[in-house]
């Protein structure tokens, strides 16, 4: 046809987003480098030292892909540079200047209980070295992770109902409890905390913090204007938790608790076919229950009380003493003999008699080490 014009439209290239994303991950794995935060370490000779930060690199995928051709006609020999951006560390060395210990708290554990000790050390290692930025909320469960066999945790005694049973991660609550007390003494804001159902022996009443992955967590917020650093480690049978921060925010803080009520436990008998008729065996001793109020008190440099806050009102139910008895003896005068107890099994070291009714207190100027 006379006067006709032929117009050629260039074919547009369409890149698959999933392929681009996969390429970006591959490039990052080969070319990228993780930024390293500045951190604190305790040197035996020099004391607290600052380990410098180190910047990292990351592929800038959007800028790299912007260099690719958009139409097939542009497809000559291609040499597209992979654009890398510097990735700054979250915490820099200058952020840690003026850092020192804000608080320290320790508890004791029985090293002969190997599985429980292993779980305790594993959880402590999980939070050791944690850095919490100003305004950031720290989650114990998020940091330690699920207490499963796959994550290295072992079976240790836990309380289920009114009985002691083996469960993965037994002993982890002592780590969260020790951290809770260190955070209280550092003046940090407590976001979430739960007390045990039963009183524990390694801290005063009202000062425990139980955790259960997916249900109960321990959380605190860094309410200072500088990063906060956690150091958690064991020394023999001692679990030590230290909170470091800018010493400008160090405070004089006291902790106290008042027992309002003591609830007696009962003796409960259950028939066991494993015992001969007329025989009894104590499965576990009883533990009283308690109603407790706990407080945190702030003092000025002269030791004068500035303010006080109630940090908890807790109820610990009693654990009844469980006694197994053999099947009933026919024509026996007494169903439950009084003098045939063969064996007593005491509760594990993380559960037991709590302090008697009264008041206990702790100051962050003093290292308090509750006894088992």
DSSP notation for 329-360: PTT-S-SS-SS-EEEE-PPPTTS-PPPPSSEE
Instruction: Compute the distance between CA of residue 196 and CA of residue 229 in angstroms, rounded to an integer.
Output: 27
Q: Which of 34-38, 189-193, 281-285, 330-334 has the lowest mean pLDDT?
A: 330-334
Q: Tell me: pLDDT of 284 over 60.
A: yes
Phi, psi (rounded to 5 degrees) for 180: -55, -45
Q: Tell me: pLDDT of 45 over 90.
A: no
Domain extent listing, the chain:
17-93, 98-363
Tell me the pLDDT of the chain averaged across its residues: 83
Q: Apex CA 236: angle with CA 233 and CA 242, to 5°? A: 25
Structure tokens at 94: 């200058």
pLDDT at 360: 44
Give mean pLDDT, residues 5-9.
65
Q: Which of 2-11, 21-30, 271-280, 313-322 has the lowest mean pLDDT?
A: 2-11
Structure tokens at 167: 């469960």
pLDDT at 367: 33
Helix 114-127 × helix 172-186 angle, to 10°: 40
For the whole prediction, is pTM greater than 0.75?
no
The residue assigned the tokens 């099947």 is 327
pLDDT at 61: 83
């Amino acid at each position: 046809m006379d006067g006709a014009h032929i117009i050629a439209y260039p074919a547009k290239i369409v890149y698959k987003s999933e392929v681009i994303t996969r390429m970006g991950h591959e490039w990052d794995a080969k070319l990228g480098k993780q930024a390293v935060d500045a951190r604190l370490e305790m040197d035996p000779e020099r004391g607290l030292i600052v380990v410098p930060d180190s910047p990292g690199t990351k592929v800038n995928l959007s800028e790299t892909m912007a260099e690719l051709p958009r139409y097939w006609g542009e497809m000559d020999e291609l040499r597209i540079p992979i654009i890398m951006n510097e990735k700054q560390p979250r915490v820099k060395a200058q952020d840690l200047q003026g850092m020192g210990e804000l608080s320290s708290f320790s508890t004791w554990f029985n090293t002969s209980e190997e599985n429980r000790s292993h779980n305790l050390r594993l959880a402590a290692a999980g939070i050791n070295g944690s850095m919490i930025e100003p305004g950031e909320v720290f989650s114990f469960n998020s940091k330690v992770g699920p207490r499963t066999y796959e994550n290295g945790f072992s079976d240790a005694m836990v309380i289920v109902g009114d009985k002691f049973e083996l469960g993965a991660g037994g002993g982890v609550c002592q780590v969260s409890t020790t951290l809770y007390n260190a955070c209280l003494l550092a003046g940090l804001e407590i976001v979430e905390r739960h007390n045990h159902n039963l009183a524990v022996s390694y801290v005063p009443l009202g000062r425990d913090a139980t955790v259960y992955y997916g249900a109960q967590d321990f959380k605190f917020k860094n309410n200072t204007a500088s990063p906060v650093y956690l150091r958690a480690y064991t020394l023999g049978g001692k679990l030590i938790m230290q909170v470091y921060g800018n010493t400008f925010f160090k405070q004089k803080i006291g902790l106290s608790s008042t027992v309002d009520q003591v609830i007696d436990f009962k003796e409960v008998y259950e028939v066991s076919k494993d015992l001969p008729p007329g025989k009894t065996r104590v499965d576990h001793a009883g533990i009283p229950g308690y109603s407790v109020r706990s407080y945190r008190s702030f003092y000025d440099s002269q030791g004068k009380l500035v303010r006080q806050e109630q940090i908890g009102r807790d109820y610990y139910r009693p654990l009844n003493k469980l006694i197994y008895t053999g099947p009933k003896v026919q024509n026996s005068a007494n169903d439950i003999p009084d003098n045939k107890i063969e064996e007593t099994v005491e509760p594990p070291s993380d559960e037991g008699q709590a302090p008697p009714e009264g008041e206990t207190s702790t100051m962050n100027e003093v290292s308090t080490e509750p006894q088992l």
